[in-house]
Amino acid sequence: AQTVTQSQPEMSVQEAETVTLSCTYDTSENNYYLFWYKQPPSRQMILVIRQEAYKQQNATENRFSVNFQKAAKSFSLKISDSQLGDTAMYFCAFTFRTGANNLFFGTGTRLTVIP
Amino acid sequence: EPEVTQTPSHQVTQMGQEVILRCVPISNHLYFYWYRQILGQKVEFLVSFYNNEISEKSEIFDDQFSVERPDGSNFTLKIRSTKLEDSAMYFCASRDRGLRYGYTFGSGTRLTVV
């Protein structure tokens, strides 16, 4: 079975600083996608960043970047220049590349940005 | 930007009553999902739907649950006889074949069973 592990239930970061959220996953498959989703207090689930497993280059979206280590099955999220609006629950998620497969979610990391 | 729309945003129902949660996925998406999240906890998969039939369902999705795509646009989740433990946030999601934009989630329906 596929599992996604987020070992940091809560983290905090000073505004304008950088923070890294950890995620590891377990699968025997080779073709898959990894995602980070943000869930602010409004409870909406918002896609932050997406990584295709066959691409070695780490994905980047503005202040958000990932460190994808396929051999280690690690997929961490780095948030640079943290802003108050980054305060949210962050979920790491995994899915297979083909088919109607669902998303496997981690348990989430609650990030608080301190002014 | 296209979005997934869910209604209602909040529903309160009495235990044992039937509820229908509604979703309008993004129009050119092919795969549809329901997830639920009990307050402050993990997001749990309920069911996936493709080509007008269920592709996969979790053990949570028992005989009390059903899904339908009656008219090619709406995608509904029905709970036949609600229990207190069905109280949760229910999210609908859809995606295209290529996963270019990931899974797009609706803003959720908060279901409270009293």
A-B CB pairs within 8 A amount to: 60
How big is the CA angle at B18 (ends B12 and B21), to the nearest 5 degrees?
Answer: 65
Question: Span A51-69, mean pLDDT?
Answer: 94
In the DSSP assignment, the letter for residue B73 is S
**What's the rounded Cα separation, in Å, for the pair B14 and B36?**
19
In this predicted structure, the answer to whether residue B1 has a pLDDT above a threshold of 80 is no
Q: For chain A, what's the residue count?
A: 115
Q: What is the pLDDT of residue A1?
A: 64
Q: What is the pLDDT of residue B39?
A: 82
Question: Span A73-81, mean pLDDT?
Answer: 97
How big is the CA angle at B31 (ends A89 and A52), to the nearest 5 degrees?
Answer: 60
**Structure confidence at residue B4 as a pLDDT band (50, 70, 90):** very high
Site from A44, A47, A103, A109 to mutate, B interface, most B CB atoms within 10 angstroms: A103
Q: Do A99 and B107 touch (CB under 8 A)?
A: no
Q: Do A91 and B43 touch (CB under 8 A)?
A: yes
pLDDT in tens, B7-51: 999 999 999 999 999 999 998 898 999 999 998 788 999 999 998
DSSP chain A: --EEE---SEEEEETTS-EEE--EEE-S-S-EEEEEEEE-TT---EEEEEEETT--SPPEETTEEEEEETTTTEEEEEE-S--GGG-EEEEEEEEESSSSPPPEE---EEEEEE-
B78, B79, B75: which is closest to B92 by C-alpha? B75
In the DSSP assignment, the letter for residue B38 is -
- For tokens 């995602």, what's the residue? A35
CA distance B35 to chain A (A): 9
CA distance B56 to chain A (A): 8
Q: What is the pLDDT of residue B106?
A: 95
Question: Span A20-38, mean pLDDT?
Answer: 94
pLDDT in tens, B69-114: 988 789 999 999 999 999 999 999 999 887 777 899 999 999 999 9
In this predicted structure, the answer to whether residue A42 has a pLDDT above a threshold of 90 is no
Q: What is the pLDDT of residue B28?
A: 87
Q: Do B43 and A45 touch (CB under 8 A)?
A: yes
Q: What is the pLDDT of residue A98?
A: 73
Distances (CA, A) of B109 to A43, B20, B42: 10, 10, 16
Question: Span A18-36, mean pLDDT?
Answer: 94
Cβ atoms within 10 Å of B90's Cβ, excluding its own: 22
Q: Do A33 and B105 touch (CB under 8 A)?
A: no
CA distance B92 to chain A (A): 10
**Structure confidence at residue A56 as a pLDDT band (50, 70, 90):** confident
Q: Do A95 and B91 touch (CB under 8 A)?
A: no
